[in-house]
Structure 1
Amino acid sequence: MPTKEHELPLEMVRNRPQLAPTILRTIFGIDLPQEAPASLASEAAAGMNPAELRCDATVLLNGPEAPTWGIIVESQLRHDKEKSFSWPGYLALLRGRHKCPVILLVFCPDSATARACAKPIDMGHPEWVLKPLTFHPGMLPPVTDVDEARRLPELSVLSTPVHSDGPHAKAVLTSVAAAIDALNRDSGELYDDYLKGRLSEAAREILEEIVKTAGYEWQSDFAKSHIARGRAEGRAEGRAEGEAEMLLRVLAGRGIAVSDEIRERIVGCTDIEQLLHWGERAGVIDSAEELFD
């Protein structure tokens, strides 16, 4: 049964077919027409044994009636030597059906898998060698422009984990937050679930703050829970500041001197129960140092 990790890149291509030609232009320098509309076609390849020839996804440029390019998209979590027999069949049948040039694009989770899947396939006929174009997220540049991220959210989502702890982290996370905010609920849930499992704790905290500050209303339960947690933490932080201020006022009202070190300890405390305990002691102690006994 296909896993979520296998299906994610395919779902991205199905949601936005333009992702496939964009990767081919950006990463591999393939001269595909910039303005050509991209559409999905049937994954089934009619041949002598169609049950064995069903690719993961097919994209056609310039429409299904007279396409100018065909793209076979495959998702591989590991190298499978059997693909060296099926991949050429996919390309040959799509080329024969639509009478146009075709390309094989293979999504991989990492560089090791991409290298293994990129091994040339010698067809036996002289000079007929298929060289799969394999891709992994580490090959993508950072997406730091909000408008670009909104135009092609899938590219932003794929590249974000690679660059979320680097020098462009804030711009990358700001862009992906805006991109996900513009998506529908189903896609938003899928993409931020992908991010949740791949971002560092520091990057997740920055992303949560960006979502909260910008006022985005992400539709997924994951995002809502994070936003709710951020708001709860904000309320708790505000209450802690209030309790610390009250404690300092009580000490000042009783004429108890408070050193800079003790003041910093009180103001820096975020444990409300601890602050309440100190507040109770503030009414009976004779020096600020006794607060911590």
Structure 2
Amino acid sequence: MVSPPHEAMHRIFQEYPGLFAGVSKALDLDFAPPTSVTILPTDLTEARPVERRVDTLLRFDSEDDDSFLLAVEAQREKDPDKPSSWAYYLSFLSTKYKLPVMLLVVCQDRATAEWATQHVSLGPRQWPALTLRPLVAGPHNMPVITDPDEATADLALATLSAITHAKQPVIDGILKALSTAVLDVPEAVADPIIELTTQGLDSAPRALELWRTLVAVDLSFYKSSISEEIRDQGRAQRGAEDILVVLEARGFDIPDEIRERVTSCDDPALLRRWLTRAVTAPSAEEIFTDEDA
């Protein structure tokens, strides 16, 4: 199943193709600055009924005619079948476009990144006819950007920094720097950064909660649907906490099922009704009276 972090890890390269320059520099690779970048179709299906798709496919062209393709794959966990699929992707693309092909694998945890970094030989040990050598970006080698000025200088790289370090202790500093950086850019620039960061943090609940809080507080002037959605979710969470605080202050024992019902509600209007009832209800259960009826 395709998850929000999976989408964010590769879609950020579609939104900001120039991000590869920052990634390659962080990995000590020397590529000429491209004169153009083209987003290509990701469908690698053959005539036979077998569908194969790479996550993101980009074509880089430069002034010295040193063109190449970059296939970007988001990898959430180890998968023993992936190296063969990746080898197929690269062979197919080389045949179809007659251009050099690179594979960039983006990961969110070190174990998966180290697994993806391994060179995989396809063929007998006596003569490995084909060796897969992916380029890997993950928490082990992506920069930790905690300086707002550095984040402002390259918002896309700062966003990838947040996505790849989503489960690391350093994420707090990265998100604070990124939320500060987007304060100084137009809404049209900030919105995709906010959206991609939110998607990328979906598998890291604590980091996602911090990001939503930072967005709700620091970006309150934004009126876009993306920012409003994040603020609504932040307000709902705080509303649920207020209800539980009131019930606890009144000395009520709060069963797990009531706590779960309150914290899982994302309807601000309903939460406000429950909060009003929590002040006078004779028991914790009574705050749901009308809805249960």
Shift of 1:186: 6.2
Uncovered stretches (5+) of structure 2, i.e. residues with no partner: 240-293
Uncovered stretches (5+) of structure 1, i.e. residues with no partner: 233-293
Among 210, 214, 219, the alignment partner of 1:211 is: 219
Contact 2:45 2:52 in 1 (8 A): yes
Q: Which structure's CA Rg is the greater one?
A: 1
- Give the number of the structure with larger relative contact order, counting CA–CA contacts within 8 Å between residues 6 or more apart: 2
Does 2:132 match 1:139? no
Does 2:103 match 1:104? yes
Paired residue type of 1:9? M
CA distance, structure 2, for counterparts of residue 179 and residue 144 of structure 1: 18
Query: What is the number of residues matched between the two proteins?
Result: 227
Does 2:17 match 1:17? yes
Shift of 1:87: 0.8
Contact 1:91 1:103 in 2 (8 A): yes
Superposed CA offset, 1:96-125 (max 9, x none) = 222222111111221111112223211224
Percent of aligned pairs with the same residue?
27
Residues 1:151 and 1:53: Cα distance change in structure 2 (over 3 Å): farther
Among 135, 154, 157, the alignment partner of 2:156 is: 154
Superposed CA offset, 1:191-222 (max 9, x none) = 3354574527667656655435xx55564224
Contact 1:189 1:222 in 2 (8 A): no
Paired residue type of 1:143? I
Contact 1:188 1:219 in 2 (8 A): no
Task: Output aligned runs, 1:32-51, within 5 Å.
Answer: 32-45=31-44, 47=46, 49=48, 51=50
Residues 1:177 and 1:139: Cα distance change in structure 2 (over 3 Å): farther
Shift of 1:135: 1.9
RMSD: 3.9
Contact 2:56 2:72 in 1 (8 A): yes
Contact 1:70 1:103 in 2 (8 A): yes
Shift of 1:91: 1.0
Shift of 1:170: 5.0
Shift of 1:44: 2.1
Shift of 1:12: 1.6
CA distance, structure 2, for counterparts of residue 146 and residue 37 of structure 1: 28
Task: Output aligned runs, 1:85-234, within 5 Å.
Answer: 85-124=84-123, 125-126=127-128, 128-137=130-139, 139-143=141-145, 149=151, 152-160=154-162, 161=166, 163-166=170-173, 170-178=176-184, 181-183=187-189, 185=191, 188-192=194-198, 194-195=200-201, 197-199=205-207, 208-211=216-219, 215=221, 219-220=225-226, 221-225=228-232
* TM-score, normalised relative to structure 1: 0.61
Paired residue type of 2:144? P
Superposed CA offset, 1:140-171 (max 9, x none) = 223356676456533222323554435x7754
